[in-house]
Homo-oligomer: A and B are copies of this chain.
Amino acid sequence: MIKINENYKKLQASYLFSDIAKRVSSFQEANPDKDIIRLGIGDVTRALPEACVKAFHAAVDEMAADATFHGYGPEQGYDFLRQAIAEGDYQSRGCNIATDEVFVSDGAKCDSGNFQEIFADDVRVAIPDPVYPVYVDTNVMAGRTGAAENGRYTGLTYLDGTKANGFIPALPTEPVDLIYLCFPNNPTGATATKAQLKQWVDYAKQNKALILFDAAYEAFVQDPDLPRSIFEIEGAREVAVEFRSFSKNAGFTGTRCAYTVVPKDCTAYTEAGEPVSIHELWNRRHTTKFNSVSYPVQKAAAAVYTAEGQAQVAELVAYYMKNAKYIREQIENLGYDCIGGENSPYIWIDAKGDSWDFFDTLLNNAGVVCTPGAGFGKCGEGYIRISAFNSFENVQQAMERVKASL
């Protein structure tokens, strides 16, 4: 008899986005003449940078002739892209990361979901709350939790983000082995300082723990004193892995390219305490279960690192950050407390009450869609997230309507 992975039965059905969709479509049916402005999901809206489009087309042309055709590439990604990443995102910023420490992939979602596979079933996992739900769900599937009780899985260590700590969680008080961190944070937009990250790196070194650092939103950091990579912190090469993506900076959400940096100094341990290279473990996993990213997509991603590409990505980021700043100002002027929007495309708003009530008010009175914070964990209750990914015109109109309706 073919038996299921019983851990899947523990998964709480995520009604968040289907609930949102239902409420939006009910509103549209009742108000067919009203147009809706979507500031809910974190999906970019502007075209790919011209440099990427040019490189994309050129690579498709290579695939169109036998003499320049590319079949299977290296599973870890082509060196032209791995090297551009190592130099452009790390070495140029003083981080000691080598080309062969970069693993190209089709998404930070996949990597952040898959990375836990190479560790033991009984490692103790710490996950921030509120946060991107993939970290929790993939550990539930792997059997590292008990059942859910009051919206939280037993066996997980939740790292609470609250107004009191500025949504920068404190170190855990119980021992943990695998720590997920995400800065700039999704959904709160909170960003950790170097001193704050240093505490985590030190904790990991003292406890032989590993940090999985999700830096998918690093491009939106404006403050030059804030770290954009965990590898700006001394000692991180021994205890941290970093996930990055072209989704948000270069608009690759529908084009699909990302990467994970696994330093060769990162160590895990056998049951008997012998050190094992995490780089080697991940390389084995990656080459066995993955076959790299489309060649034309890798060429398009590499164009991000040309002078033209860098200028175009900077322009895209600046565009969305103008939206973010505007949203935060307008919402604060209405008397609501916000964080985020300064070094992040997300604005996290204290709803002064129930997440879903505030969602309904914005939808029904202003025709604006946001995301209720409760969907990101227990600590997200009472908050909503507004995304800056839309046109400035739509953002302006949305804020006018919100002002008139609150």
Which residue numbers of A lie inside 8 Å of B, CB to CB?
A: 1-6, 8-9, 11, 41, 43-48, 50, 53, 56-57, 60-61, 63-66, 69-73, 106-107, 109-110, 113-114, 117-123, 134, 137-138, 141, 177-178, 207-210, 251, 253-256, 268-271, 273, 276, 281, 284-285, 288-297, 391
Residue pair B3, A56 in contact (C-beta under 8 Å): no
Cβ contacts under 8 Å, A64 to chain B: 47-48, 50, 53
Is the pair A291, B4 in contact by a Cβ cutoff of 8 Å?
A: no
A285 to chain B: closest residue by CB:
B141
Checking B1, B4, B294 against A256 with a beta-carbon cut-off of 8 angstroms, the contacting residue is B294
Docked-complex contact A178 and B2, CB < 8 angstroms: yes
Residue of B2, B63, B255, B270 touching A4 (CB-CB under 8 A):
B270
Q: How far is the CA of A53 from the CA of B255 in the complex (A)?
A: 16
A208 shortest CB reach to chain B, Å: 4
Residues of B within 8 A of A110 (CB): 289-291
Q: Which of B47, B118, B178, B285 contacts A69 (CB 8 A)?
A: B47
Q: When the two chains form their complex, are residues B63 and A48 in contact, meaning their CB atoms are under 8 A apart?
A: yes
- Chain B: minimal CB distance from A81 (Å): 14
Distance A53 CA – B295 CA, assembled complex (angstroms) = 13
* Contact A109:B45 (CB < 8 A) given known A177-B3, A295-B254: no
Q: Can you list 14 residue pairs at the A/B interface with Cβ under 8 Å?
A: A3-B270, A6-B270, A41-B72, A46-B69, A47-B65, A56-B60, A60-B60, A63-B255, A71-B253, A72-B254, A113-B288, A113-B289, A134-B289, A256-B293
How far does the alpha carbon of A48 sit from the alpha carbon of B6 in the complex, in Å?
Answer: 43
Q: Give min CB distance, A308 to chain B, whole Å.
A: 14
Query: Measured between alpha carbons, how far is A141 from B291 in the docked complex, in Å?
Result: 17
CA gap between A270 and B293 in the complex, in Å: 36
Minimum CB–CB distance from A214 to chain B (whole Å) comes to: 14
| Closest chain B CB from A306 CB (angstroms) | 16
Verify A8–B113 contact, CB threshold 8 A. Answer: no
Give Cα distance in the complex from A57 to B122, angstroms.
48
Chain B positions within 8 Å of A1 at CB level:
177, 207-209, 269, 273
- Cα-based distance from A285 to B53 in the complex (angstroms): 32
Indicate if the CB atoms of A123 and B71 lie closer than 8 Å: no
**Chain B residues within 8 Å of A297, by CB:** 294, 297
**A47-B63, A57-B57 given; 8 more Cβ-contact pairs under 8 Å:** A2-B269, A3-B119, A4-B118, A46-B69, A50-B64, A71-B251, A109-B291, A137-B288
Known: A177-B3, A294-B294. Contact between A8 and B118, CB under 8 A?
yes
CB-contact partner of A254 in B66, B70, B106, B113, under 8 A: B70
Are A44 and B60 neighbours in the complex by a CB distance under 8 Å?
no
Out of B2, B50, B209, B284, name the residue touching A2 (CB < 8 Å).
Answer: B209
Contact of A3 among B69, B109, B269 (CB under 8 A): B269
- A137 contacts across to B, CB distance below 8 A: 288
Contact B56 A118 (CB under 8 A): no
Residues of B with C-beta under 8 A to A178: 2
Are B5 and A117 in contact, with the CB atoms below 8 A? yes
A114→B291 CA distance, assembly (Å): 13
Structural contact, B66 and A46, CB atoms closer than 8 A? yes
